[in-house]
Amino acid sequence: MTVKAALKSQAIETPSWAYGNSGTRFKVFAQPGVPRTPQEKLDDAARVHEHTGVAPVVALHIPWDRVEGAEGYAALAAYAKERGLRLGAINANVFQDDDYKLGSVTHPDPAVRRKALAHLMECVDIMDATGSRDLKLWFSDGTNYPGQDDVRERQDRLAEALAAVYERLGEGQRMLLEYKLFEPAFYHMDVPDWGTAYAHCLRLGDRAQVVVDTGHHAPGTNIEFIVAVLLREGKLGGFDFNSRFYADDDLMVGAADPFQLFRLMYEVVRGGGFGPDVAFMLDQCHNIEPKIPAIIRSVMNVQEATAKALLVDRDALAAAQREGDVLGANAVLMDAYNTDVRPLLAEVRQEMGLDPDPVTAYRRSGWAERIVAERVGGTQAGWGA
């Protein structure tokens, strides 16, 4: 596949919640024109895809995107299809109810664990109705103090819940397990790192895969090494792309460290992960910047990193590595990274019948002014706080 063909085939999944209101732990900031319904979120996602050509998938978050019954979800999938989209990962939410203060599937109270498991099963039902392939699971479960709960027993409870959900998956469906170093639990998280997630997925089977959120690691972690190992083991199910300066900042992907994004994408390309088996999803909160242009810019940042990764002269790199040419091998990577790929991507977009500058094209479209004028009244979507 040529570089241009690969770039044209790329599919980046945008998250429905990125179109809604979000904020910090202290305040959620409202913006005019924010969607009020899942359908309006899809309308905005369609604009991102219209201007980039590579964002045809939208992830849902339940209950933030809940509609009534299986018929409602089937209708939502049809609504997406009419706009050139398809519904992607169904994200479960077992962290916002008061019952989950001490955990969800690892909670010491069996009644709370049953409630959380019922929600996960509901999410698989939604997958059935929408035709979604992936169930994405992130657990805020953990403890704040030594001795608060039995750490090993919590792993047993987690394994029991994951096994029940895995058994419920239908043909062609997958479970993607996310991890996070800390927050909201600070003494220990029940799924704190890729090794814990990998161990659970390995025990479950082939349809259990690990999700790498680029903001969920300790400072200095070599994330591309994790990507390389998971690809080698056939256990990389997808990414949650964002940027961080300090912790789980959920900033625009490529904003804080574009070189890291390039290194990640090189390992994806080198490891055979550039394709439908690895989901490339954004997981960002646009608190102070306009949402749709920020998502368009994020998609463009992933495209630029991907283009540079595809330009790496792998034969020259391999030769330098075999010869122990440390500086030569590094230079091969740096040559690709320092290449200005913006003209290439502009050409690719023109060949796809798109404006070469997606952000400017969106601004000219009048969509921002239209949604501010039309989306008046009702309750704006958002994750509260």
Q: Computed from CA positions of residues 160, 140, 20, 51, in that sequence, does the dihedral angle turn out positive or negative?
A: negative
Q: How confident is the model at residue 41, as a pLDDT?
A: 98
DSSP letter for 17, please.
G
Question: Which residue's structure tokens are 């639990």?
Answer: 185
User: For 292-361, what is the HEC assignment?
Assistant: HHHHHHHHHHHHHHHHHHHCCCHHHHHHHHHCCCHHHHHHHHHHHHCCCCHHHHHHHHHHCCCCCCHHHH
- Please tell me the CATH code under which domain 10-302 is placed: 3.20.20.150
Check: pTM over 0.95? Answer yes or no: yes
- Tell me how far apart the alpha carbons of residues 54 and 57 are, in angstroms, rounded to a whole number: 9
Structure confidence by residue, pLDDT tens digits, 55-85? 999 999 999 999 999 999 999 999 999 999 9
- Indicate the SS3 state at residue 376: coil
- Tell me how far apart the alpha carbons of residues 229 and 231 are, in angstroms, rounded to a whole number: 5
Question: Which pLDDT band holds residue 385 (cuts at 50, 70, 90)?
Answer: very low
Structure confidence by residue, pLDDT tens digits, 136-187? 999 999 999 999 999 999 999 999 999 999 999 999 999 999 999 999 999 9
Q: How confident is the model at residue 1, as a pLDDT?
A: 67
Mean pLDDT of the chain: 97
Total Cβ atoms within 10 A of residue 33: 21
User: Parallel, antiparallel, or unpaired for β 134-137 and 174-178?
Assistant: parallel
Report the pLDDT averaged over residues 45-64.
Answer: 98
Nearest C-alpha neighbor of 55 from the set 358, 363, 365, 378: 358
Question: Which pLDDT band holds residue 24 (cuts at 50, 70, 90)?
Answer: confident
Structure confidence by residue, pLDDT tens digits, 101-115? 999 999 999 999 999
Using the predicted structure, report yes or no on whether residue 230 has a pLDDT greater than 80.
yes
